[in-house]
Amino acid sequence: SPDCSFTCHYRCRALVRLDCSGPPGAGDEDDGTEQALEKDTNVDEPGEWEKAELDQAQVEQRIKEYNSQINSNLFMSLNKDGSYTGFIKVQLKLVRPVSVPATKRVPSLQAGRPGPRAQGVKRRTSFYLPKGTIKHLHILSHTRASEVIDALLRKFTVVDNPRKFALFERSEKDEQVYLRKLADEERPLRLRLLAGPSEKVLSFVLKENETGEVNWDAFTLPELHNFLRILQREEEEHVRQLRHRYARCRQKMQEAL
């Protein structure tokens, strides 16, 4: 596709189906603002309100308050065993492509004679998820952050290792954006209940999990060449956004003069 400019193996090209909704760069102005806000705001420790422990009566009261504040039917419900269920909204902000299974049948070159590849191609194909993709999940109060990641990957049939991704909590305060990576054992629905329904106070974002150094020797040459192409595109996109930001700032200064 000329809009997506995706990269895949030449034999996988016929298997890829993408719904491209516009030229690259659409909505980049918001992304630039978001990146400017999020710089150097990662925090490691949860806030005081996130550490609060509630008894069953307090949980019941919080659920009533939560349900009275939302403008949808995404209510929380208290169960007889003291647990509760509800919905969380997760925004996917992935900058790298994800892998999905490519199992569609490939037609034989000669009609009536099934070729050796007609059984189906058990390969992977990679593509970029659209920016700002949002998914609602119905979960339990004891559902862990790692289980939320697994559920999201299943929803989008992503076959990458779940350890490549991390769930973050995002909050806005004093015109600053704060991101904190959730530990595997943390319970997102509990955080949602404690924070209330406001997306500014708390929202959830799925991003790449930056785990440190990568063992590049473990990859094949075609994979490494593909990574280099992806890195080049990421670098070009960052440079384009930076130039756009400076051009906009320069324009504002000239208008003021």
What is the average pLDDT across 129-158?
Answer: 93
Q: What is the pLDDT of residue 131?
A: 77
pLDDT for residue 8 is more than 60: yes
Residue 45 identity (one-letter amino acid): E
Residue 166, pLDDT above cutoff 90 = yes
Residue 17, pLDDT > 90, answer: no
Q: What is the pLDDT of residue 5?
A: 57
Q: CB of 98 within 8 A of CB of 129?
A: yes
| Distance, CA of 253 to CA of 245 (rounded, Å) | 13
Q: Is the pLDDT of residue 27 over 50?
A: no
pLDDT computed for residue 212 by the predictor: 64
Query: What's the Cα-to-Cα distance from 31 to each of 101, 190, 206, rounded to whole Å?
Result: 29, 29, 16
- Given a cut of 90, whether residue 213 has pLDDT beyond it is no
CA distances from 109 to 113, 117, 160 (A): 8, 10, 32
- pLDDT (average), residues 212-234: 81
- Taking each helix axis as running N to C, give the angle between helix 188-195 and helix 56-69, from 0 to 180 degrees, rounded to the nearest 10: 70
| Band of pLDDT at residue 160, cut at 50, 70 and 90 | confident
Q: Residue range 118-135: average pLDDT?
A: 73
The per-residue pLDDT for 19 is 53
Average pLDDT over residues 112-117: 49
Say how far apart CA 138 and CA 104 lie, in whole Å.
30
Q: What is the pLDDT of residues 197-206, one digit of tens each?
A: 999 999 999 9
pLDDT for residue 48: 65
Tokens of 202: 């708390």
Q: Which of 178, 156, 152, 179 is nearest to 165 (CA)?
A: 152
CB 31 within 8 Å of CB 151: no
- Taking Cα atoms as reference points, which of 50, 28, 32, 51 lies closest to residue 171? 50
Evaluate if residue 73 carries a pLDDT over 80: yes
Rounded to an integer, the average pLDDT of 129-145 is 92
Q: What is the pLDDT of residue 235?
A: 93
Fold of 56-96+123-213: Ubiquitin-like (UB roll) (3.10.20)
In 3D space, the residue among 70, 51, 87 whose CA is nearest the CA of residue 180 turns out to be 51
Nearest to 84 by CA among 143, 135, 136, 137: 143
